[in-house]
Amino acid sequence: MNNNKQHYINPYLGGVLLGILVLLTVYITGRGLGASGAVKSAVVTTADVISPAHAEENAYYSKFISDDHSPMYTWLVFESLGIFFGGLLSGIIFGRVKKLRVERSPKITKKTRLIAALIGGILFGIGSQFGRGCSSGAALSGSATFALGGVIVMLLLFGTGYAIAWFFKKLWI
Amino acid sequence: MGPLIPNGIIGGGWDFVIALLLGIAFGFILEASGFSSSRNIAGVFYGYNFVVLRVFFTAVIVAMTGLLFFGYFGWIDLNKIFILPTYLAPMIFGSVVMGFGFLLGGFCPGTSYTAIAIGKLDALVFTVGLFLGIFIFGEAFPLFKDFYYSGYLGNVTLTDVTGIPPGWFAFAFTIIALASFWVTMLIEKKVRKNIKEYKF
Burial state string for A83-99 with b = 16 or more CB within 10 A and e = fewer than 16 = bbbbbbbbbeebebbee
Specify the pLDDT at position B131.
98
Q: What pLDDT band is residue A172 in, cutting at 50, 70 and 90?
A: very high
Average model confidence (pLDDT) across chain B: 95
- What is the average pLDDT value for chain A, to the nearest integer? 94
Mean pLDDT across A8-15 = 97
Q: What is the mean pLDDT of residues B184-199?
A: 86
Reply yes or no on whether the pLDDT at B4 is more than 70: yes
| pLDDT beyond 80 at B198 | no
Question: Confidence band (pLDDT; 50, 70, 90) for B200?
Answer: low
Interface check A45 vs B, CB under 8 A = no
- Residues B90-109 have a mean pLDDT of 98
Distances (CA, A) of A53 to B27, B93, B137: 36, 30, 18
Q: Is the peptide bond before B3 cis (omega within 30 degrees of 0)?
A: yes
- Percent of chain B at pLDDT above 70? 98
pLDDT of B196: 74
CA distance A157 to A152: 8
Most confident of A58-72, B75-89, B186-200: B75-89
Contact between A127 and B45 using a beta-carbon 8 Å cutoff: no
Q: Residue A72 CB: number of other CB atoms within 10 A? A: 14
Would you say residue A72 has pLDDT above 60?
Answer: yes
Radius of gyration, CA atoms only, chain A: 19
Q: Percentage of chain B with pLDDT > 90?
A: 92
ipTM for the predicted complex comes to 0.96
CA–chain centroid gap for A153, Å, is: 14
A5, A36, A39, A166: best to mutate for the B interface, most B CBs within 10 A: A39
B16 neighbourhood in chain A, CB within 8 Å? 75, 78
CB-based burial label for B162 (10 Å; 0-12, 13-18, 19+): exposed
pLDDT at position A4 over 60: no
B73 vs A contacts (CB less than 8 Å):
none
Chain B's closest residue to A34, CA to CA, is B110
Contact B97 A120 (CB under 8 A): no
A95: left (phi over 0), alpha (psi -120 to 50) or beta: left
Overall average pLDDT of the B44-68 stretch = 97
The CA-to-CA distance between both ends of chain A, in Å, stands at: 14
